[in-house]
RNA sequence: GUGAGUGUAGCUCAAUUGGUUAGAGCACCGGACUGUGGCUCCGGUGGUUGAGGGUUCAAGUCCCUUCACUCACCCCA
């Protein structure tokens, strides 16, 4: 399938390793895991304050009962649905979700139609503590994964809205303006101006806006234009909290141009990117205070969160060589020396497996040479052999594949030996 | 979804203006080494040239269709 791929053991091991790191950080911050179905009713996925124009990228079809359904496009909308449905959930609710999402996009480097995302969101909190926690998680994950040069850019939709209002840009085209701004790195300031022109923003308005944006290198620069702007106070608060959480200043920054394209953001927004490889953002997120309400009118429920693009992270890590493939988890290969000693051989496997050691019995009576080659190729650290000599002497032979050394041990020492390699 | 490029062995790549039976390295399999992997040496298997159709005496090479990948646009993780 276009934009989708099979994942063989080697890549699965890599994926599993990365997921484990991410999961542990989520848990470290007290988040609980949930899952939601791959399919959602179309009416939940579409409409105002959801994905905006991206709606056309949602896989949509009729189920056998003729109902309009769609594959989930992200976890934020399903989360809002969950919050609107289960009203007895204790707030603030901190949940994480690691599953696949589907987007009918044209596939490119680091861009797929089916991919894993890892989301962590906090529902029910208006406080910037929630933002700070999410950004801190974001920071911890990227540094634990081994990224050296990444930047978490932070902005606020409230600021952008206020700026648009200040420049008298109508609300109904503001999202288009945001999307144009977001592209500044690629198309330059003139490019942004052209886009604004395309969306019928008059010369004087777009000039005014771009001038402000250009002048605004840091958050304090905004105070001249926007007085008592809540969005500015929020960002300052987030920065203060981040310093308490010891998130290094070099890894995050305020960026007035970073705007995000999704419709549902209402407050602080963030995006994580690396310089190399050229792959777009690896993680993103923001506040979506009105989304739950969209499912249940009157049910006011502020929320904020981050989303990590696992698939893209894996591509980037591969490119930067941050992700050596872990060796197989199998610790011991029990070789089949010859079928007449199968009883002793299988019993050994049984016993060491019961010690909690991942043990593979070679699956057919091939030549011993072949079996050693197999162990070598799969990087299984130990091979156990039980042949005529061993049976005669009531012992078993262990070969350490890394050192090449082997020794015979008494059968009665099997469990002791097994336990000795448990921690290795 | 629109436009452009690429597609040759499991992988990385060769193959003259269209011209014999499509090659090499690595990988794989076998042997040297019949109770032992890596290293070395020797030998071997491996291809509907992405797929389908067309032009031609002759197609990996030219044309059309389709699929996959890459790039740009759109947009995003």
Over chain A (424 residues), what is each successive 10-residue block's mean pLDDT? 78 89 97 96 84 81 89 94 96 96 86 92 97 98 93 95 93 90 89 90 92 91 88 96 97 94 92 86 94 93 96 86 82 91 94 95 88 90 94 94 92 94 77
pLDDT value of position A424: 65
Measured on CA atoms in the order A39, A315, A105, A295, is the torsion positive or negative? positive
Structure-token pair, residue A117:
């995302």
pTM of the model: 0.90
The A 381-420 residues near strand B by Cβ under 7 Å are 383, 385, 387-390, 397, 399, 401-404, 406
Backbone angles phi, psi at A173, to 5 degrees: -110, 5
pLDDT value of position A91: 95
pLDDT value of position A109: 80
The A 203-262 residues near strand B by Cβ under 7 Å are 260-262
pLDDT value of position A122: 98
Burial-class residue A75 by CB neighbours within 10 Å (0-12, 13-18, 19+): buried
pLDDT value of position A111: 86
CA distances from A24 to A18, A56, A142 (A): 10, 35, 13
pLDDT value of position A87: 94
Chain B nucleotides near the protein (CB, 7 A): 1-3, 28-31, 33-38, 67-77
The A 129-168 residues near strand B by Cβ under 7 Å are none
The A 187-206 residues near strand B by Cβ under 7 Å are 187, 195
Structure-token pair, residue A6:
């099979």
Query: How far: A388 CA to B28 C1' (Å)?
Result: 32
Measured on CA atoms in the order A352, A355, A358, A363, is the torsion positive or negative? positive
Q: How far apart are CA A257 and CA A217, in angstroms?
A: 10
pLDDT value of position A108: 82
Q: How far apart are CA A123 and CA A289, in angstroms?
A: 9
pLDDT value of position A238: 97
């Amino acid at each position: 399938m276009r934009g989708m791929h099979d994942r063989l053991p080697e890549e699965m091991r890599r994926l599993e390793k990365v997921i484990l790191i991410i999961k542990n950080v989520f848990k470290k911050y007290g988040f609980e895991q949930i899952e939601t179905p791959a399919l959602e009713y179309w009416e939940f996925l579409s409409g105002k304050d959801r994905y905006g124009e991206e709606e056309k990228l949602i896989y949509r079809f009729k189920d056998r009962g003729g109902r309009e359904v769609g594959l989930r496009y992200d976890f934020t909308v399903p989360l809002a649905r969950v919050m609107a449905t289960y009203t007895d959930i204790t707030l603030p609710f901190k949940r994480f979700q690691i599953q696949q999402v589907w987007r009918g996009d044209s596939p490119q480097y680091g861009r797929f139609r089916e991919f894993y995302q890892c989301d962590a969101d906090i529902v029910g909190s208006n406080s910037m503590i929630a933002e700070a926690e999410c950004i801190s998680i974001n920071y911890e994950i990227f540094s634990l994964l081994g990224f050296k040069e990444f930047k978490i850019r932070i902005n606020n939709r409230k600021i952008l809205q206020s700026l648009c209002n200040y420049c008298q840009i109508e609300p109904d085209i503001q999202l288009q303006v945001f999307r144009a701004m977001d592209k500044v790195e690629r198309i330059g300031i003139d490019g942004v101006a052209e886009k604004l022109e395309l969306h019928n923003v008059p010369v004087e308005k777009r000039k005014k806006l771009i001038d402000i944006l250009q002048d605004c290198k840091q958050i304090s620069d905004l105070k001249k234009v926007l007085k008592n702007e809540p969005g500015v106070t929020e960002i300052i608060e987030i920065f203060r909290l981040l310093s308490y959480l010891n998130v290094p200043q070099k890894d995050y920054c305020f960026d007035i141009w970073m705007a995000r394209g999704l419709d549902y953001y209402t407050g602080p927004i963030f995006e994580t990117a690396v310089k190399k490889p050229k792959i777009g953002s690896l993680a993103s997120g923001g506040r979506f205070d009105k989304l739950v309400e969209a499912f249940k009118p009157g049910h006011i429920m502020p929320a904020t969160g981050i989303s990590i693009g696992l698939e893209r992270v894996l591509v980037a890590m591969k490119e930067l060589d941050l992700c050596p493939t872990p060796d197989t988890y199998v610790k011991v290969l029990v070789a089949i020396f010859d079928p007449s000693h199968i009883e002793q051989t299988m019993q050994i496997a049984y016993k060491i497996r019961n010690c909690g050691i991942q043990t593979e019995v070679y699956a057919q009576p091939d030549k011993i040479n072949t079996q050693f080659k197999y162990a070598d190729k799969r990087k299984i650290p130990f091979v156990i052999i039980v042949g005529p000599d061993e049976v005669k002497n009531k012992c078993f032979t262990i070969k350490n594949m890394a050192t090449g050394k082997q020794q015979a041990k008494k059968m009665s020492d099997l469990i002791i030996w097994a336990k000795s390699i448990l921690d290795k």
